[in-house]
Structures are given as C-alpha cells and as structure tokens.
Amino acid sequence: MFYRRKSYLIKKDFVETFNTHFNKTNLPNQIKYGSRLVSRWMKENDNDTVEIFAIWEYKSYEDYREIESKIQSDKVHLKRIKDWYEQNGGREYIRSEYILEMKNDFLESTVETD
C-alpha cells in the first residue's frame, strides 16, 4: 500500500467554507477515481489557524499517479474547482488570505508485515 498525507494550515474563519468544499467537491471526485480516504482531521492552533490533514491510501505509487492524472483530466471537476475559487474571491486571494500552507507528503510504514 501507498499512503499520502495532504495537509493545510488555514485561517480559522475559513474552516467551514474549506470543509464544505472538501466534502461536496473534492472527496466525491477522489473516491470516483479510486482514492481511499483513511480519515481527515483538524487541529485548532492558538494563533487563529487550523491544521487540516487527510490520509489517503492507494494500492501503489503508480495507482496514485494514475488516479491523480484522471482527476486532473476531469473537466467538470476542474470547472467546479475554478467556480469555487471565483465564488470565494479568486485563487490568488484564497491562497494569500486563507490558506497559509499546503503540503503533500508521501508516507512510509514502519510496521513490519509478513
């Protein structure tokens, strides 16, 4: 198995908008193409920011790449993303005002299996 952690550091006042977007737009599209969400969490910080992160599971790195390629080729999904950004002030505005950090990390298991 192959695991990916997608994480964001966002301003607290954008959490509801961000989580709604994830649940209505991103999650269904990821599942449609074969991603498996292990879980998604958030942790409030003392400085009016919230860390939100998800762990995704794939059969392999190649499977992850294939799924991402399909997602990036889905014109209907890309339009929904573009429309969401525009409804909330534009991509650059959201990334400068609300999303303070984004990371996409690949994880390795430390558990030995037979």
pLDDT, tens digit (0-9, with 9 covering 90-100), for 44-58: 999 999 999 999 999
* 108 touches 11 (CB < 8 A): no
* 102 touches 50 (CB < 8 A): no
pLDDT, the chain, mean = 95
Report the domain count for the chain.
Answer: 1
Position 48 scores a pLDDT of 95
3-state SS assignment for residue 63: helix
Q: Is 13 part of any domain?
A: yes
- For residue range 5-21, list pLDDT tens digits in order: 999 999 999 999 999 99
Q: What is the CATH number of the domain that holds 22?
A: 3.30.70.100
Position 110 scores a pLDDT of 87
Query: Rounded to the nearest 5°, which phi and psi values hold at 48?
Result: 60, 30
- For residue range 86-113, list pLDDT tens digits in order: 999 999 999 999 999 999 999 988 888 7
Query: Taking residues 39-43, what's their average pLDDT?
Result: 98
- For residue range 71-84, list pLDDT tens digits in order: 999 999 999 999 99
Position 108 scores a pLDDT of 86
Domain that holds residue 80: 2-107
pLDDT band at 114 (very low <50, low <70, confident <90, very high): low
Q: Which residue has the tokens 């005002």?
A: 97
Taking the C-alpha atoms of residue 14 and residue 16, their distance in angstroms, rounded to an integer, is 6
DSSP 8-state class, residue 14: G
